[in-house]
Structure 1
Amino acid sequence: MRKTGAHRFTGWAPAISAAICALLVTALAAANARAELPAEDAEGWSLHKEEENIRVYTIDQDQSSFKAFKAVALLDVPIGNLMAVMVNPRSCVEWVYNCTESYAFGKGSFHDRYAYSVNDMPWPVTDRDYVLRIRTYGDETSGEIIMDLNATPNQRAENDNRVRVDRSDTLYRFIPEGDQTRMIWVQHTDPNGALPGWLVNSLLVDIPVRSLQALEKVAATEPYQGFRLVYDADGHLIDVRLSDG
């Protein structure tokens, strides 16, 4: 029997009203136009590192001393495998570089939920923690899936031993290409507090490169096999479920 935290999300497929479906279509079309993040095709992206199937770009952000990054990778796993990982609230520790704790909290749905995570920082830098709102949209016709992750720091009490990140915006775009998946990851985070420049610069590259390498391996493991994407009658993604049989 397969065992994975992804199973706890099976059943997150409530009936969606026509009005909400319309909003999902709008969100899918507009997700890349969020003011917090630069557009994927914005001028100014500079290639920072290329390693096998992963390319990482950086760009300056207005009113921030920290750059945003864009990582583009062709992962050798089907999109269903990847989404089984992504909807597992505890999978952060399996693939996100330096993530040491992660779990879902509060009432949520497949499309809109909350998660808490912790990033380990090298001594003497204090660990950072995140409270994220995660929204997921998918379109059956194009096959694309978009996930928006935005910091919502006031949703949980702060921990005295960690620094709460209050500005972080992330976009994941998954594009199926046969048995492979192209993933585009755009992120800008202001980690709060004083951080050495060498650490900031290394994280901009190390986080996406090491994370995507781990994600490709994790999504190919047995616990994440056999999942399928479930769409409603209008072609909107409503769940990721383990296939019958």
Structure 2
Amino acid sequence: MANQRAHTVTGRLTALVCITVLLATSARLSAALPAETDPAWTLRKEAGAIRVYTINQPDSDFKAFKAEAVMDVPLENLMAVMVNPQSCVEWVHNCSESYAFGDGHFHDRFAYSVNDMPWPVADRDYVLHIRTRGDRTSGEIIMDLNATPNRRDPVEGHVRVDRSDTLYRFVAQGDQTRMVWIQHTDPNGAIPGWLVNTLLVDIPVRSMEQLERVARTERYQDHRLIWNQDGELVGVEGNP
């Protein structure tokens, strides 16, 4: 009987430790980026419908940015772009290479990409863990992209980014889509301050402008979002 009680206590303690670890891990993940509504965001640029804000990040010399806009394209078009592993080169400013790898699926996958940096700065490469979730009732889809640098070997001539966290939030508004893009990246190595400040503003503006153009092209038309019986997004279906 005493042994049974001991096993029960041990089991409960093990479960409690597991729950604590899971909660701590979730807290770290959610704390990686500042809240969208943080009052410390500072408006840096307005370009048409796009607004870009920056904010200081703890333990980093580099600011995070938030870009937001209402795009004149349906959510289905944008998601058709986002699930294409090669689409980074189509819309993300300075993205010169991108592809998926591993045995991932729609909700949980991995991608490798390269950012072409101006000479003499070395190009940066990213190994990203991408997670996607969506809710049919709210019309909201969220993508989290986090650097996982050790999942692929280093590439000669590139500097591997080991700290990068990105959140994309898409909300359907009829035939339009509201997009919020929050990102913090520590690019590693020496980069001139003027270049960092330029990238913080120029990358989201140029990229979101290009994303809207790309999402209107023929290859990203006639797609639809696939939801399960619980109203959770499970995929995007359309042109190959």
Per the shorter chain, which TM-score range?
A: 0.7 to 0.9
- Aligned residue runs from structure 1 range 71-150, under 5 A: 71-150=67-146
What's 1:3 paired with? none
The unaligned stretches of length 5 or more in structure 1 are 1-29
Task: Provide TM-score, normalisation by structure 1.
Answer: 0.86
1:70 correspondence with 2:66: yes
Match for residue 169 of structure 1 among 165, 168, 175: 165
Alignment RMSD: 1.4
Match for residue 199 of structure 1 among 170, 188, 195: 195
Counterpart CA distance in 1 for 2:44 and 2:193 is 16
Q: Is the partner of 1:34 in helix, strand or coil?
A: helix
- Aligned residue runs from structure 1 range 4-15, under 5 A: none
- Residue deviations 1:28-82 (CA, integer Å, cap 9, x gap): xx89x81110000012100000010100000000100000000001111000000
The percentage of aligned residue pairs carrying the same residue is 70
Q: Is the partner of 1:66 in helix, strand or coil?
A: coil
The unaligned stretches of length 5 or more in structure 2 are 1-25
Higher helix fraction (1 or 2):
2
Which of structures 1 and 2 has the bigger CA Rg? Answer: 2
Counterpart CA distance in 1 for 2:67 and 2:151 is 28
Runs of 4+ in 1 over 4 A off after TM superposition: none
Shift of 1:160: 1.7
Counterpart CA distance in 1 for 2:212 and 2:136 is 23
Which one has more relative contact order, counting CA pairs under 8 Å at least 6 apart?
Answer: 1
Task: Provide TM-score, normalisation by structure 2.
Answer: 0.87
Counterpart CA distance in 1 for 2:61 and 2:227 is 41
